[in-house]
Copies of this chain bind each other. A is one copy, B any other.
Amino acid sequence: MRNPTLHDVARAAGVSYSTADRVLNQRGGVAEKSILRVQHAIQELGYRRDIHAANLSRRRSYRFRFYLPQGDHGFFSVLRDAAQDQGRARALDRINVDVHDVPALDADALAIELASIAEGDCDCVAIVGADSDRLGAAVARLAGLGIAVVTLVSDVESHARAAYIGINNIAAGRTAGRLIGLAHTARYGRILPILGKLGVRDHRERLRGVSDVLAGVGGISLLPALEVMDRPDRMLEHVGKVLTMDPDITGIYSIGAGNRALIRILGEMGGARPFVVLHELSPHSRVALEGGLVDAVIDQKPAEEIAQALDAMKAIVDGEVPIQAEITPTIYLKDNLPGPTGDGEHA
């Protein structure tokens, strides 16, 4: 079964290949009646450009840039590795991926980086978004230069951004709440939420999600959120103190990204451990999950996010509508982890 070609379209429309090409590619110099005939033939035949043949002819390459937060957060290093690995694997699709580090939690630094991009420097840009007027303006400037911007993990408030790929953070918080509710089916409880910064929208949304669900579960109190600024020293200092002063805490929900210090605290606890939900599967959180220090990890599957970002960016550059496939909050327990297991209990 052969797909229709532009030759077929031209024949069906009763025009030359040149005219069909002029219509398809909006080159001008075609009378309205011929335009309509070609468009009708395209629709009737279901013609779609063979993008591979077109790219071969044009010597097209797709130059994609990713601006990703640096730092010690496991999640962002997983995301960076995925961008680089998948970019490499897609060389035969003519995709070149350039990964740039930017300071974490610093929207202004990112905006400055984006401001240095000139027209024609690349075809599409992917960033981890943030709430920032300056960042929104930088995105809009790039769109004006014909460089589409895709946001990952966290969105921007700019209508100029071409696509968002990430989870719904309210749903993520609700999911954490549902799990905490499950673990409190037959008991009362006090839950400590820990977050990086209330100013970060994603963190606020997750807190709202967990709060909504727990409000509907009788017998569970949600404590005031503890802000640790994604700093391990603050995590060590403040969480330890709260746990000592309130030994009735039965659950912890860590909303932010950095969990190494928290895992350390959990490892050093004696007695009954609280039920713990973290975000993002990283080597550290994985070990904690496998070892029973942590009960659940809610993940946004960075490798899938990168794959979808690449698909979306390519579609945008090809002039197609990017498919908005959804990344749902993924729940990892001890038993459904991807890849080889550490505990050898099952093959």
Contact = CB atoms under 8 A, between A and B. Distances in A.
Interface of A: 1-3, 48, 50-53, 55-56, 59, 61, 91-92, 94, 96, 168, 170-172, 174-175, 177-179, 182-187, 209, 212-213, 275, 295, 326, 328-331, 333-339, 345-347
B1 A96 contact: yes
Contacts of A213: 335
Given A1-B96, A172-B336, A212-B346, 18 more contacts: A3-B91, A51-B92, A52-B52, A56-B56, A168-B346, A175-B333, A179-B182, A182-B182, A183-B183, A183-B185, A185-B186, A185-B275, A187-B187, A209-B335, A212-B345, A326-B339, A328-B338, A330-B331
Contacts of A61: 1-2
B186 A336 contact: no
Nearest to A186: B187
A106 to B, nearest CB: 28
Per DSSP, are chain A's interface residues mostly helix, strand or loop, or mixed? Answer: loop
A335 B56 contact: no
Q: Give this chain's copy count.
A: 2
A53 B51 contact: no
A182 B295 contact: yes
Contacts of A171: 335-336, 346
B209 A170 contact: no
A346 B175 CA distance: 12
Contacts of A329: 335-336
B56 A53 contact: yes
Contacts of A345: 212
Contacts of A1: 61, 96
Contacts of A53: 52, 56
Given A326-B339, A328-B336, A346 B92 contact: no
Of the candidates A48, A175, A335, the one having the most CB atoms from chain B within 10 angstroms of its own CB is A335
B51 A170 contact: no
A326 B338 contact: yes
25 contacts: A48-B91, A50-B56, A50-B92, A52-B52, A56-B56, A170-B347, A174-B335, A175-B335, A178-B333, A178-B335, A179-B182, A182-B182, A183-B183, A184-B186, A185-B186, A185-B275, A186-B187, A209-B335, A212-B346, A213-B335, A326-B338, A326-B339, A328-B337, A329-B336, A331-B336
A275 B181 CA distance: 13
A188 to B, nearest CB: 9
Nearest to A92: B48
A147 to B, nearest CB: 18
Nearest to A55: B52
5 nearest interchain CB pairs?
A: A52-B52, A186-B187, A174-B335, A331-B331, A329-B336
Of the candidates A53, A172, A185, the one having the most CB atoms from chain B within 10 angstroms of its own CB is A185
Contact of A334 (B51, B168, B178): B178
Contacts of A275: 185
Nearest to A172: B336
